[in-house]
Amino acid sequence: MITLPLLASLVLVQDTVPLAVIPQPVNLTPGTGMFTLTAQTVIWTDRVSARLGHQLAELLEPATGFPLDVQVGGTRTGSRISLRRDTSLKRLGLEGYRLEVSPTRVLIRAPELAGVFYGIQTLRQLLPPEIFRDAAFDGVRWTVPAVTVEDWPRFPWRGGHLDVCRHFMPKEFVKKYIDLLALHKMNSFHWHLTEDQGWRIEITKYPRLTDVGAWRAQTLVGPYTEDSTTWVFDGERHGGYYTQDDIREIVAYAKERFVTVVPEIEMPGHSQAAIAAYPWLGNTGDSVPVLGRWGVSANILKPSDSTIAFYQDVLTEVLQLFPGPFIHVGGDEALKDQWKASPWVQARIKELGLANEEEMQSWFIRQMDAWLAARGRRLVGWDEILEGGLAPGATVMSWRGTEGGIAAARAGHDVVMAPGSHTYFDHYQSQNRAAEPLAIGGFTPLEKAYAFDPVPAELEPQYRRHILGAQGQVWTEYIKGPKQVEYMAYPRMTALAEVLWTPPAQKNYEDFVGRLRTHLRRLDILDVNYRPLGP
Ligand code: ACM
């Protein structure tokens, strides 16, 4: 019989170690007692999980000071954390896992290694927040409450985007951004690498893209308005780019964290930095500067065979660097005025038998779609690629609301939802704008980000499988560096992580905020400059 004092102490254990996992697991059943990690704990793995065993040891060592033994194969005895692939758990899917914690051992099993990785992320969040410290932290008992978790994601595309063009972000920060995505079980990093205001990826065949295109002479100060007489510039050169070795490092870093990097090479709009580097890519032949202001540029690529060949050369190098299935070609906000004014483009439209400038853009994107498909890759573009006809293999990223995504799904295309209304984390988080850093506009508080459902209610059930998931956008016109990226992305990215992972019936905003209060202690320790809770 359990005596009253024992019961009270059990309750106390639960109180002192709140279960605060984000995203909320699908099934989580608390057990009795707890596991205590000590210097004697062994990390046991099967052969295929050995690398993850070493990764776990590296995650646990700084804060605990324990150089934990990693034992691959052999018998398991004593206090241990076991990791293994278990194909009998196929029902948990490509990314699901089962985590069992008892007083004697922690066991993480999954049908695929991604699931083992996600089991480890849950384990990290079941330990005291101090586990995220970088150096030995005395006086903490490294306990994990007994629990059984069975967990898998709602969507396969759980993305975070980062614009490194409007403001260049250092390589070390890009890795931190990826680390944070992975901690929240996000698996896709959309790297926006080319823009009017800067070209950020080294292309060896065309060195001027970075020699010229990666640098702008000056940047607009304050909010953008269309009235150019109000523009004031800072007079400061800004720029930077990633070498191909930097990119290989980042892609490998992401892969170790089960994050796929989706590079974006914009075309035919948002390309002024490329035109600045190689004016023949443009319609006028005029030399233009790398753009120093925000808003949309009139400069758009000339839809010539040489432009297509140039961009396919660029993509040839991109494919060597990025092994993932998806290549993003932009396609948004391409103003057609230069095409309308150009006799050459008008003749081209006739020659190709196209009806108008929208079909001209569609033709351009189709060249890329066919070229990528022939190389085993998939094109993804912003929803403007629907205009003038969607390329046969295209996946649509729906940003101007969810309508484009709905139309694409009904036409049998895959979709990533990224509507400005709920997933643009460059928008204000508060209605008290005076108390916030200058932002592009909008109002997307944490609760609204949490309320998002990537599957629109009006989308018929037979098309819903085309919704791959969703993505949070961080455009950086008004975001000058890493600390401000963190302020805008967090905690909203944690809300999106739960949107993308947890079954809708189990979502609960009050409960989320309760867990988030504990989770913010982890983000504090990780030096994440999140926006504090509050109106
Ligand atoms: C976009 O925000 N122009 C995709």
**For the segment 464-502, what is each residue's pLDDT rounded down to a tens digit?**
999 999 999 999 999 999 999 999 999 999 999 999 999
CA pair distance 10, 479, nearest whole angstrom: 47
Tell me the per-residue pLDDT of 11-41, one tens digit each, with 9 for 90 and over.
Answer: 444 345 579 999 999 999 999 999 999 999 9
Secondary structure of residue 436 in the 3-state scheme: coil
Q: Is the minimum distance from the CB of 401 to ligand 1 under 6 angstroms? A: no
Query: For residue 378, what pLDDT is reported?
Result: 98
Pocket test of ligand 1: the residue of 384, 399, 421, 476 to mutate, having most ligand atoms within 8 Å of its CB, is: 399
Q: Are 469 and 156 in contact (CB under 8 A)?
A: yes
Counting atoms of ligand 1 from 1, which one is nearest the CA of 270?
A: 3
Residue showing tokens 């295309």: 413
pLDDT band at residue 173, thresholds of 50, 70 and 90?
A: very high
Write out the two tokens for 468: 């791959």
Paired strand residues for 108: 83, 99
Collect all residues with Cβ–Cβ distance below 8 Å to 526 and sequence separation of at least 6.
132, 180
| Ligand 1 pocket residue status of 399, Cβ below 6 Å | yes
Interval between CA 269 and ligand 1 midpoint (Å):
11
Confidence of residue 313 (pLDDT cuts 50, 70, 90): very high
Residue closest via CA to ligand 1's atom 3 equals 332
User: For residues 127 and 142, what is the distance between their CA atoms, to the nearest angstrom?
Assistant: 6
52's enclosing H/E stretch is: helix 50-64
Give residue-wise pLDDT tens across range 410-448: 999 999 999 999 999 999 999 999 999 999 999 999 999
Q: Supply the pLDDT for residue 137.
A: 86
pLDDT at 18: 72
**DSSP 3-state of 155:** coil
Q: What is the pTM of this model?
A: 0.96
Ligand 1 center–CA 462 separation, angstroms = 28
Span 354-413, pLDDT tens digits: 999 999 999 999 999 999 999 999 999 999 999 999 999 999 999 999 999 999 999 999
Span 195-202, average pLDDT:
99
Look at ligand 1, atom 2, and give the residue with the nearest C-alpha: 399
Q: Which of 328, 268, 270 is nearest to 297 (CA)?
A: 270
Task: Please give the mean pLDDT across all residues of the chain.
Answer: 96
Q: Rounded to an integer, what distance in angstroms lies between the CA atom of residue 477 and that of residue 323? A: 29
Burial of 149 (0-12, 13-18, 19+ CB in 10 A): buried
Q: What is the mean pLDDT of residues 495-515?
A: 98
Kindly calculate the radius of gyration of the chain based on its CA atoms and give it in whole angstroms: 25
Among protein residues, the one with the nearest Cα to ligand 1's atom 1 is: 332
Mean of the pLDDT values across residues 336-350? 98
Q: 448 C-alpha to center of ligand 1: Å?
A: 20
Question: DSSP string spanning 100-118?
Answer: EE-SSEEEEEESSHHHHHH
Amino acid at 49: S
Is residue 4 over pLDDT 50?
A: no
Q: Which atom of ligand 1 is nearest to the CA of 333?
A: 3
Percentage of residues in the chain with pLDDT exceeding 90? 96
CA–CA gap between residue 289 and residue 131 (Å, rounded): 48
State the distance from the centre of ligand 1 to the C-alpha of 192, rounded, in angstroms.
11
**Distance in Å, CA 476 to ligand 1 centroid:** 12
Out of 332, 335, 416, 444, mutate this one to test ligand 1's pocket (max ligand atoms within 8 Å of CB): namely 332
- CA 206, 240, 187: angle at the middle one, nearest 5? 90
Contact between 251 and 321 under an 8 Å Cβ cutoff? The reply is yes
Report the run of H or E that residue 336 belongs to, with start and end.
Answer: none
For residues 519 and 126, is the Cβ–Cβ distance under 8 A? no
pLDDT at 373: 98
Dihedral class, residue 44 (left if φ above 0, else alpha if ψ from -120 to 50, else beta): beta
Domains of the chain: 4-151 (3.30.379.10), 157-502 (3.20.20.80)
Structure confidence at residue 176 (pLDDT): 98
For residue 77, what pLDDT band results from cuts at 50, 70 and 90?
A: confident
406 three-state secondary structure:
helix
